[in-house]
Structure formats: C-alpha cells, structure tokens
C-alpha cells in the first residue's frame, strides 16, 4: 500500500533539487488535476534540454530532482503558475541526516554573532519519528550549537525549512519568487497579431501569463518590407513559443491588399483600412482553428491609429472579441517588460513595418465609419481577403 511504501527508503530522492510551490492553481477547484498536469508538462518542457534532472509531481508540489543550478532556476522563472521555488537538498527520512543538512546550510550563511534563525518544519508523513515541533527543537539546537546563532521565530535572518513527506524529505533556506499566473494553455487560446514591434510580443507574454496559449498572425508586405522583417517576427515568436506546447505562426502576404487599398482610399485612412483587413483575415484564420478571440499590442493614445475612436472603428470589422493587454500601460513599462522577457533586443532591430506603407505623416485620428465603408466598397476586398487566407504560410515553432 501507499503507506507501506512511505517507509521504504529506496524511492526517496537524494541530493540537490528544487521544490516548486504552485500558485493560484488551487483556486480552480474541480479542474485542479488538469491544471496541475498542464503545469507539470510545462515544467518538463522548460527543462527538456536538461537530461540530468527529472520532474516529479507530488501532492500540491512539483519537484525537480538532480540539480538546482542557476540555469534550472532561470528556466523555471518563466513557467507560469509557479508561486515560488526553493533550491533544496533531498535526504533520507532520518532526523540525523536532516540535522546535518540544516547545520551545513546554517554554516554557509554569512552571519555574525547577532544572527538569528528559525526552523520551519512541516510533516505530512504523520508516521515520521518526530513531530514538527520536535524537529524544530532537535534541528534548532544543533544549529545553535554549531553556529552560535540565536533563535527568533518572528523575525529571523535565516529561515531553515524542513519538510517530511511520504516519499520525500528535504531541507531548504532560500525562497525565490516564481512567475505567478496560470499554466499556459489552461485559459484557452487567442490569435495574437504579432508585428516586429516592441508591444505585441509583450502583450503575448501577459496573455500567456494568464494561461492563454497563442497562435501568431503576422502581416508581411513583401517586397516592400524585406525578408528580414519576417525573420525578426519569427525570432520574437520563438521567445513566446518557449513557454507553450506548440506555437503556430501564420504569415499573411499583405502587399497586394495594401496596393489595392491605396487606390481605393485617401492616404489618411490607410492605417484604419489595413487594420480592419488584418482583423478580418486574422479572424478567418482563428476560426479555422477553433480560436475564439483575437489580441493585439495596442495601447491607448500613443499613435494616431490607437485613439479610442479608431480602435472602435477597427473593432467594427471584427466578430470575435479583441483583447488588448497593454491598453493602459506606459511605453516605459512595456519596454522594461520587453527587456525582462528577452524580446526587446529583437524588437529594436531596424526593419520596416507594413503599416507605414503609403501612409502620410498625419493619418486620421478620428476616422468616420461612413467614409471607411465607402472606400471598402470601391474594390472587391473580400476577394483579397480570401486570397490572403488561402495563400497563408504556416510556420510551426
Ligand atoms: P507593436 O510594437 O506591437 O508593433 P505599436 O505600438 O508599434 O505596436 P502599431 O504598429 O500601431 O503599434 O500596431 C498596433 C498593433 O497592431 C500591434 O501591436 C499588433 O498587434 C498589430 N499589428 C501591427 N502591424 C502588424 C503586422 N505587420 N502584423 C501583425 N500585427 C500587426
Ligand atoms: Mg508597430
């Protein structure tokens, strides 16, 4: 039985590892198991290249067994759904071993005669030889003798954690903040309009953090925008792709549509026309894949195309809801986040975006829907949309 197994020592992990604490996952009640499985899969994927470690799910926890080096901690940093991580030493369920590891952690701590510590012991194996408070007393006195540090339960400089479970036992001192959020995939999927700019990759990151898996849609105006622009978007997509199971990027050829629009509309309306067409095309692609929402990196008031009035005009062309996670963010905040997640250096590489094509210096900030609809009737744009959808390039990352 399971209880009997807990007394055997051979399946107890030993040596360095990491304990992951699971965040809001537990709020999700009935779906908890599905979420936990997604999270475990995401943790495994983030550590795929690290064949020296294994990932072990346990009740309310996930363990990485084998190492706790910086590379592993960095990889875990962007696995959404983890509230905190602790490098740990796994050992046998034996009070002498636990004590030895706690003493060794305490000796590594750069303290002085004023240093105070506490032992935080937890025991989920109620058959263990010592209760939690007995562990605290026994381990605590050994640490005190070995280091001279005093005990302070309320405000310690050094907190030494001990956890004794059924098939595991470990000691830790450091608790690092995890990424938070929900496991990617647990909230569904959106089609993200991904440009080569700074904003849309950050928008994608924030959605992934709330559990959304992404499909990217990029509008490419070859030959007006060079192949380098496309490679840049692929590189950005690869950063987001690292955080989810599979990432599909659609590359839509947009130049013919833009040429036709340039003939049909006055140039101050072109950005609005492009955007409405982008939304319509993205929506077709999304619906083919069963995706029920779109997302953009739009932000209020930065540029002419992103006034509230113009957003409403773009929204008018959509059937699916459009989400804009950056709507209220300052550019500086977005740039800081882009640097943190590793997309900034790619985004600032100099390549043309298709939305500047044929566009004057002062585009409409408050377009009129009547005017747009008149322009849209001048050519058979539906035909262009169908062709763009039919000729889309699919890149699986
Ligand atoms: P970004 O930095 O994401 O390009 P931005 O602040 O430069 O944003 P715009 O260029 O006006 O703003 O684009 C607004 C949004 O429209 C983008 O965030 C993106 O979601 C979408 N978008 C713009 N151009 C393209 C494109 N070529 N392909 C796909 N989506 C695009
Ligand atoms: Mg842009």
With CA atoms as reference, report the closest residue to 64 among 10, 23, 16. Answer: 16
69: CB partners within 8 A, 6+ apart: none
Does the pTM surpass 0.75? The reply is: yes
Distance 31 CA to ligand 2 centre (A): 38
State the closest ligand 1 atom to the C-alpha of 252, by its place in the atom list counted from 1: 28
Helices 255-264 and 381-390 meet at what angle, rounded to 10?
A: 170
Peptide bond into 134 cis (omega under 30): no
Ligand 1 proximal residues by C-beta, below 6 Å:
193-195, 197-200, 217-219, 296-299, 302-303, 305-306, 353-355
Closest residue by Cα to atom 6, ligand 1, is: 199
Distance 223 CA to ligand 2 centre (A): 18
Q: Which ligand ends up closest to the CA of 346?
A: 1
Kindly report, residue by residue over 65-83, the tens digit of the pLDDT.
999 999 999 999 899 999 9
DSSP states along 290-358: T---EE----TTSSGGGSHHHHHHHHTT-SS-EE-TTTT--HHHHHHHHHHHT-HHHHTS----GGGTT
Closest residue by Cα to atom 17, ligand 1, is: 297
pLDDT value of residue 1: 40
Closest residue by Cα to atom 18, ligand 1, is: 297
Using most ligand atoms within 8 A of CB, pick from 196, 199, 299, 324 the residue to mutate for ligand 1: 199
Q: Which ligand ends up closest to the CA of 229?
A: 1
Per-residue pLDDT of the chain (397 residues; tens, 9 = 90+): 444 444 444 467 889 999 999 976 565 667 788 888 999 999 999 999 999 999 999 877 899 999 999 999 999 989 999 999 999 999 999 999 999 999 999 999 999 999 999 999 999 999 999 999 999 999 999 999 999 999 999 999 999 999 999 889 999 999 999 999 999 999 999 999 999 999 999 999 999 999 999 999 999 999 888 889 999 999 999 999 999 999 999 999 999 999 999 999 999 999 999 999 999 999 999 999 999 999 999 999 867 778 999 999 999 999 999 999 999 999 999 999 999 999 999 999 987 777 788 888 888 888 999 999 999 999 999 999 999 999 999 999 9
Q: How far apart are CA 181 and CA 84, in angstroms?
A: 11
State the closest ligand 1 atom to the C-alpha of 303, by its place in the atom list counted from 1: 11
Distance 354 CA to ligand 2 centre (A): 9
State the closest ligand 1 atom to the C-alpha of 193, by its place in the atom list counted from 1: 30
Closest residue by Cα to atom 25, ligand 1, is: 195
Reported as type and span, the H/E element at residue 250 is: strand 248-253
Kindly report, residue by residue over 356-366, the tens digit of the pLDDT.
888 888 888 88
Q: Which ligand ends up closest to the CA of 202?
A: 1
């Amino acid at each position: 039985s399971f209880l009997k197994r807990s007394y055997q020592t051979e399946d107890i992990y030993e040596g360095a590892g990491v304990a992951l604490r699971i965040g809001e996952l537990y709020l999700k009640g009935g779906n908890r198991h599905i979420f936990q499985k997604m999270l475990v899969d995401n943790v495994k994927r983030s550590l795929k290249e690290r064949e020296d470690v294994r990932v072990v799910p346990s009740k309310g926890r996930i363990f990485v067994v084998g190492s706790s080096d910086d590379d592993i901690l960095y990889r875990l940093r962007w696995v959404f759904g983890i509230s905190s991580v602790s490098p740990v030493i796994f050992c046998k369920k034996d009070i002498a071993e636990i004590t030895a590891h706690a003493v060794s952690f305490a000796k590594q701590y750069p303290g002085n005669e004023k240093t105070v510590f506490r032992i935080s012991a937890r025991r989920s194996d109620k058959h263990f030889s010592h209760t939690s408070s007995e562990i605290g007393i026994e381990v605590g006195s050994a640490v005190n003798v070995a280091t001279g540090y005093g005990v302070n339960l309320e405000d310690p400089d050094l907190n030494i954690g001990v956890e004794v479970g059924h098939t595991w036992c470990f000691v830790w001192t450091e608790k690092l903040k995890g990424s938070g959020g929900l496991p990617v995939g647990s909230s569904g999927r959106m089609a993200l309009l991904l440009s080569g700019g700074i904003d849309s990759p950050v928008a994608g990151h924030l959605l992934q953090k709330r559990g959304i898996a992404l499909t990217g849609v990029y509008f490419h105006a070859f030959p007006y925008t060079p192949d380098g622009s496309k490679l840049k978007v692929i590189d950005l997509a690869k950063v987001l792709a690292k955080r989810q199971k599979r990432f599909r990027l659609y590359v839509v050829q947009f130049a013919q549509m833009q040429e036709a629009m340039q003939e049909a509309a006055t140039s101050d309306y072109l950005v609005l026309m492009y955007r409405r067409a982008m939304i319509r095309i993205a929506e077709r692609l999304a619906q083919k894949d069963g995706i029920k929402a779109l997302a953009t990196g739009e932000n209020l008031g930065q540029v002419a195309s992103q006034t509230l009035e113009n957003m409403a005009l773009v929204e008018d062309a959509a059937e699916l809801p459009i989400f804009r996670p950056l709507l209220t963010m300052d550019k500086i905040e977005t740039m800081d986040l882009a640097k943190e997640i590793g997309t900034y250096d790619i985004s600032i590489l100099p390549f043309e975006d298709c939305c500047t094509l044929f566009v004057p210096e002062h585009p409409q900030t408050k377009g009129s829907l009547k005017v747009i609809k008149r322009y849209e009737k001048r050519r058979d744009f539906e035909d262009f949309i169908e062709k763009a959808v039919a000729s889309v390039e699919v890149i699986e990352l």
